[in-house]
Amino acid sequence: MDMNTKDINGNGNTKISKQNVDTVKKKFAFTEIWKKYSIAFVLLMMIVTISIIEPKFLSSKNIFNVLTQAAIFGIMSLGLTLIIISKGIDLSAGSLLALAGIIAASLGQVANATSKFYPNIGELPLIIPILVALGIGGILGTINGGLIAFTGIPAFIATLGMTTIARGFTLMYTGGKPISQLTPQFTFLGDKIGILPIPVLIYGIMIIITWVILNYTSFGKNIYAIGGNINAAEVSGVNVKKNIVLIYMYAGLMYGVAALVFAGRVGSVHPGAATGYELTAIAATTIGGTSHAGGIGTIGGAVIGALILSVLRNGLTLLGVQAYWQQIVEGAIIVGAVIVDMRKHKKKN
Amino acid sequence: MTEDKNILEMRNIVKTFPGVQALKGVDLNVKYGEIHALLGENGAGKSTLVKCLIGIYQKTSGEIVFESECIDNYTTADALRMGISMIHQELSPVEHRSIMENIWLGREPKTKLGFVDHNKMYEITKEVLKRIDLDEDPKTLMADLSVAKIQMIEIAKAISYNAKLIIMDEPTSALTNKEIDQLFTIMRKLKEEGKSIIYISHKLEEIFTICDTITVYRDGEYIGTERVSDIDTPTLIKMMVGRNVNELYPKVKCDTGDIKLEVDNLTSEGAFRDVSFKVRKGEILGIAGLVGAGRTELIETLFGLRKKTYGQIKIDGKEVDVRTPQEAKGKKMALLTEDRRLNGIFPMLTVFQNITIANLFKYENKFRLFNHKEAIRDVNEYVESIQIKTPSIYQRMENLSGGNQQKVLVARWLMTSPEILIMDEPTRGIDVGAKAEIYKLISTLAEQGKSVILVSSELPEVMRMSDTIMVMYEGRVAGILNNSKDLTQEEIMHYATGQIMKDKAEYM
């Protein structure tokens, strides 16, 4: 592409270079489309292949199953997409989910639960655990962002520390015991309206909100700028520190939402819950074309990435493939996706 | 020396990239012991040609004859062995390793047991450095050296390969005048030893100073080769751009208004001290000085990127406190930074994103959502009015030429409707045509009553563009001069080198 533009930037008054521009434009349009949708083609091909071998895959029940399975790490990956576009990383997503989830669950047990965490408070309306989960996610996310923005330590280190700290608090909070017997209101979050699973509905709403934020607000545009060139963003008058804090705070809120879906669906929260979920969410974002070099990434990509992982897990199970193989394939897909992605962004010489 | 024999003959070189013919059959003949300038606008094919020569690219067709031998299909390593060496525009030293480790990287002298022989490496590095009169301990870390020194080390490295032909791609873009003189001395020495140099530069003054022969390309085509002694600047520019650029530096003539910006005793400890000056509406204040004189630090402080220790900044007579770039922007200031890649452009983002980033708030509707339609309309308007050459506003910034990137940055700041424009080396590394357009733009802005602060290391640029010239020396104002016809480069240099330190009161 480099040379093409150079030609256009020359005088451009010779016929030869004009012709070049035309052919280049055509080629440009095709490669652009391929670039933009290649990962969606991959998903489509996977769906087609799996459903040819196993038609049951396409039943509405199974499709909702795939979507429901994608919902939890899918919601997490929405937050992580913002972080990774800004050239950051968050390893604490799974731990924050567990901590937010377990505290929310402790406030959402039925009145006569056998091992009630707060025996004296009776049954609280659902809004309490919701606010608590969002609050914990948001506050701990803000701490992540604050550490990164104001002390200058790498995001990897800050969130690595947060991972262990949050997990420690989670264990301490319940003394290592799980919390179960949640109110029907709470478990409704993991249930269905008609055939539509609530986790899918929540995932859908979060996708729309995050998409609007990333594409239609100054905050969203600043995220790309910070990831694209943090120095240039600073000079352009972007309040870099404030925005970094907001990015991690928003991601924390997403983990809070994911925690509620998790608790509702499983019906209980174990202190070791969601271990390693951050890696699945990071994988979804990465497969979806968000570059760890910063400045590049889309919400659509993150959603497709999450679906690819979910379709893969579901499909391979349907096809009777051993769970060990599923992991191996998953790993290969993550690496493969990044190889394709790097090629796509490489400047042609 | 065999003055008239060619060391290198490149004949009818064609290089095609998918969809584009970058070189359409160009020639280059370089003699032994000659400094040969390669000239042309960005995209003319200079870089492509030397990359073909050094083995980074393989030519599509054509002939390369080096030392009477036809060479073909070789790698960069082969080129180095044959005696062709290149000093790249963007230096990439291994920063936290020493000079000697950098010079012998990948070919370290070994002991009998196969370990790196540090003693020998030290000795041979000393020898090489001595040949270019560089008195530096081979164990010094690259990170501790100035850009100029790193440049010299690169040359030492080329010599260490016993290079017969050295390609220098814009070697002076980050050097001060004094350092450029040092570089030229070394170049002349190399020339006397019979080595040949291919010299790529946008600075015509330099080419007339140091080069013997000039070859000009335009749009991948060979335009001509001339002896430096036989050609003058206008002819040369015409050869490069294919049209007359009669006024490269348009003379500014406009009435200045009230005082817009007033700086009193501004100080940032360790960078500059007691700097005072005024800029009126419609005035262009040029700031001259050597690298390290504190010019960049001064404007960083004005723009809130650096803390002031004490001193006053007044805008429209009112004292202001600018602590962050956001606040500077709020005071209607704009800053075009010195280093486009470091803190100017977003290379992976589109032209659209690059222009709007400083103006996002302007396009927020009442729900605080971004109005793309309006923004796209405005961006297109700027792209057209300042003639940014790009296939679309969604082109990635990294695919634009330096000149066009600079124009995008200008558009970014014009969109904020600034009243004080600060430009740090606005024409660094961009070609003659784009330069002229930037100058025109600066003049127009001044005409519109905006105050412009122009920091530049190119004296002709400062002298032709500015109404007033402030010269800095070692963090202090050495003089503030009214720009008139009688002012000479030598006079400014006297101030810039600290030979005259007059009391500032004489000029106020």
CATH number, domain with residue A304: 1.10.3470
Closest residue in A to B331 (Cα) is A237
Q: How far apart are CA B431 and CA B219, in angstroms?
A: 13
Q: What is the 3-state secondary structure (H, E, C) of B209-268?
A: HHCCEEEEEECCEEEEEEEHHHCCHHHHHHHHHCCCCCCCCCCCCCCCCCEEEEEEEEEE
Distance from CA of B404 to the nearest CA of A (A): 8
Q: Looking at the complex, does the CB of residue A213 fall below 8 Å from at least one CB of chain B?
A: no
Summarised one tens digit per residue, pLDDT across range B227-245 is 999 988 878 877 877 755 4
* Site from A15, A212, A229 to mutate, B interface, most B CB atoms within 10 angstroms: A229
Q: Dig out the tokens for A18 from the structure.
A: 């004009």
- What is the CB neighbour count within 10 angstroms for residue A312? 20
DSSP assignment string, B20-75? EEEEEEEEEEEETT-EEEEE--TTSSHHHHHHHHHTSS--SEEEEEETTEEE-S--
Taking residues A324-338, report their average pLDDT. Answer: 88
Nearest to A272 by CA among A99, A67, A22: A99
* Cβ contacts of A52 within 8 Å, gap of 6 or more: none
The residue in chain B having the minimum alpha-carbon distance to the alpha carbon of residue A1 is: B399
Q: Which amino acid is at B461?
A: E
- Chain A contact set for B366 (CB, 8 A): none
The answer, yes or no, to whether ipTM is higher than 0.95 is no
Contacts of A241 in chain B (CB under 8 A): none
Question: Is pLDDT above 70 for A21?
Answer: no
Q: Do A20 and B401 touch (CB under 8 A)?
A: no
Note the CATH number of domain B6-241: 3.40.50.300
In degrees, to the nearest 5, what angle opens at C-alpha A137 toward C-alphas A135 and A142?
A: 95
User: What average pLDDT score do residues A24-49 get?
Assistant: 77
The verdict on a CB contact (< 8 Å) between B399 and A228 is no
Flag whether residue A20 sits within 8 Å of chain B, measured between CB atoms: yes
Q: Does A238 touch chain B (CB under 8 A)?
A: yes
Of B17, B343, B398, the CB nearest to A232: B343
Residues of chain A in contact with residue B306, where contact means CB-CB under 8 angstroms, are: none
Shortest CB distance from A218 goes to which of B344, B347, B370? B370
Asked if pLDDT for residue B440 goes beyond 60, the answer is yes
Q: Pairing mode, if any, of strands B310-315 and B165-169? A: unpaired
- Which residues of chain B lie closer than 8 angstroms to A212, CB-CB? 369
Checking if the pLDDT of B154 tops 90, the result is no
Q: Is the pLDDT of residue A224 over 90?
A: yes
User: CA B232, CA B242: separation in Å to the nearest integer?
Assistant: 15
Q: Which residue of B has its CA nearest to A238?
A: B326
DSSP structure class, residue B10 = E
Q: How far is B135 from A66, CA to CA, in rounded Å?
A: 69
Cβ of A218 within 8 Å of Cβ of B400? The answer is no
DSSP code at position B357: G
E strand or H helix at A200, and its extent? helix A198-216
Q: Is the pLDDT of residue A82 over 50?
A: yes
Enumerate the domain spans of chain B.
6-241, 248-332+419-428+447-508, 342-417
d(CA B17, CA A118) in angstroms, rounded, equals 71
Neighbours of B45 (CB within 10 A): 28
CB contact under 8 A, B353 and A238: no
Question: Would strands B84-87 and B318-320 be described as parallel, antiparallel, or unpaired?
Answer: unpaired
User: Cβ B389–A24 below 8 Å, yes or no?
Assistant: no
Task: Map tokens 């602060």 to a residue.
Answer: B453
DSSP conformational letter for A125: P
Q: For tokens 């939402």, what's the residue? A: A257
Chain B interface disruption, residue of A1, A4, A6, most B CBs within 10 A: A6
B390–A8 CB contact, under 8 Å = yes
A349: confidence class by pLDDT, cuts 50, 70, 90: very low
The residue of chain B with its CA nearest to that of A211 is B369
d(CA B488, CA B26): 40
Instruction: Look at strands B61-66 and B69-71 and give their pairing.
Output: antiparallel
Rounded Cα distance, B92 and A146, in Å:
33
A-chain residues within 8 Å CB-CB of B364? 217-218
Q: Is the pLDDT of residue A33 over 60?
A: yes
A53 to chain B, closest Cα gap in Å: 40
Q: Which candidate, B45, B69, B44, B80, places its Cα nearest to that of B59?
A: B45
Helix axes A60-85, A218-228, angle to 10 degrees: 60
B18 touches chain A (CB under 8 A): yes
Mutation pick from B42, B47, B219, B322 vs chain A, by most beta carbons of A within 10 Å, is: B219
Q: How far apart are CA A225 and CA A231, in angstroms?
A: 9
Q: Does A31 touch chain B (CB under 8 A)?
A: no
Chain A neighbors of B19, CB-CB under 8 A: 3-4, 20, 23-24, 27
Residues 412-441 (B) with a CB less than 8 A from some CB of A: 412
d(CA A97, CA A137): 7
Q: How far is B370 from chain A (nearest CA, A)?
A: 5
Q: Which range, of A294-308, B91-105, B486-500, averages the lowest pLDDT?
A: B486-500
Give the A:B interface size as CB pairs under 8 Å: 156
Answer whether B6-241 and B248-332+419-428+447-508 agree in fold. Answer: yes
Range(s) of the domain holding residue A34: 1-53
The alpha carbon of residue A336 is apart from the nearest alpha carbon of chain B, in Å, by 22
- In chain A, residues with a C-beta closer than 8 Å to the C-beta of B368 are 217-218
Q: Are B317 and B310 in contact (CB under 8 A)?
A: no
Predicted local distance difference test score (pLDDT) of residue B39: 87
Tally of residues, chain B? 508
Phi, psi of B488 (to 5 degrees): -115, 160
Q: Dihedral (C-alpha) B443, B446, B448, B451: value to the nearest 10 degrees?
A: 150
User: Taken in order B391, B397, B400, B406, is the CA torsion positive or negative?
Assistant: positive
B387 contact A CB<8A: no
Quick one: CATH architecture of B248-332+419-428+447-508?
3-Layer(aba) Sandwich (3.40)
Contact at CB, B343 and A17, closer than 8 angstroms: no
> Any chain B CB within 8 A of the CB of A12?
yes
Enumerate residues 6+ apart whose C-beta is below 8 A from B71.
B64, B65, B82
Strands B259-268, B272-280: pairing is: antiparallel
Mean pLDDT of B490-494: 80
B259 phi and psi angles, rounded to 5 deg: -70, 125
Same domain, A144 and A38: no
Residue A345 has pLDDT above 80, yes or no: no
Q: E-strand spans in chain A? A: 192-193, 196-197
Cα separation, A189 vs A207, whole angstroms: 17
For A:319-348, CB contacts with B below 8 A are: 345, 347-348
Q: For strands B20-31 and B6-17, give the pairing.
A: antiparallel
- The verdict on A39 and A167 lying in the same domain is no
**Both tokens assigned to A90:** 């968050």
What span, in angstroms and rounded, lies between the C-alpha atoms of B502 and A54? Answer: 89
Nearest residue to B318 (alpha-carbon basis) of B305, B298, B332: B332
DSSP 8-class letter at A232:
H
The B residues from 271 to 310 touching A (CB cutoff 8 Å) are 303, 305
What band does A16 get if pLDDT is binned at 50, 70 and 90? very low
Under the banding of pLDDT at 50, 70 and 90, the label for residue A4 is: very low
Q: Do A11 and B241 touch (CB under 8 A)?
A: yes
Q: For residues A133 and A127, what is the distance between their CA atoms, to the nearest angstrom?
A: 10
B404–chain A Cβ distance below 8 A for any pair? yes
Mean pLDDT, rounded, of chain A: 88
Q: Using the CB atoms, write b or e for B106-130: b if 16+ within 10 Å.
A: eeebeeeeeeebbeebbebbbebbe
One domain for residues A141 and A10 = no
Q: What is the pLDDT of residue A5?
A: 37
Give alpha helix (H) positions in B304-401.
325-330, 340-343, 351-356, 372-385
* Residues A42 and A87 grouped into a single domain: no
Contact at CB, A229 and B400, closer than 8 angstroms: no
Q: What's the domain count of chain A?
A: 2
- How far CA B407 is from CA of A278, B45, B344, B360, in Å, comes to 42, 22, 11, 19
| The two three-digit tokens of residue A69, written as one number | 């399975």
In a shared domain, residues A144 and A221? yes
Q: What is the pLDDT of residue B251?
A: 57
**Distance of residue B20 Cα from the nearest chain A Cα, in angstroms:** 6
Stated length of chain A: 349
* Confidence grade of residue B432 (pLDDT, cut at 50, 70, 90): confident
What are the CA-CA distances from residue B210 to residues B49, B110, B406 (Å)? 21, 39, 28
Q: What amino acid is encoded at B79 in this protein? A: A
Are A106 and A176 members of one domain? Answer: yes
Q: Are residues A67 and A42 in the same domain?
A: no
Q: Do A156 and A28 fall within a single domain?
A: no
Handedness of CA B113, B116, B117, B121 (dihedral sign): positive
Helix axes A277-287, A60-85, angle to 10 degrees: 80
Q: What are B196-217's pLDDT values in tens digits? A: 999 998 778 888 999 999 999 9
Residues B90/B174, Cβ–Cβ less than 8 Å: no
Q: What is the pLDDT of residues B268-323, one digit of tens each?
A: 998 899 999 999 999 999 999 877 789 999 999 999 999 999 999 999 999 999 99
The single residue listed with the structure tokens 């904020």 is: B416
57-76 in B: which are within 8 Å (CB) of A? Answer: 57
Beta carbons of A234 and B343 less than 8 Å apart: yes
Q: Is the dihedral of CA A12, A18, A22, A28 positive or negative?
A: negative
- Describe the crossing of helices A15-53 and A2-9 by its angle, rounded to 10 degrees: 150
Q: How far apart are CA B434 and CA B406, in angstroms?
A: 9
From chain B, the residues in CB contact with A3 under 8 A are: 17, 19-20, 22, 48
Contacts of A220 in chain B (CB under 8 A): 370
pLDDT of residue B248: 57
Classified as helix, coil or strand, B198 is strand
By Cβ distance, the residue of A11, A216, A345 closest to B369 is A216
Lowest mean pLDDT among B94-98, B355-359, B385-389: B94-98
Averaged pLDDT of chain B? 87
A234 and chain B in contact, CB less than 8 A? yes
Chain A contact for B15, CB < 8 A?
no
**In this model, does residue B498 exceed pLDDT 90?**
no
Would you call A24 and B305 a contact, using CB atoms and an 8 Å cutoff?
no
Per-residue CA distances from A195 to A64, A65, A321 (Å): 8, 11, 28
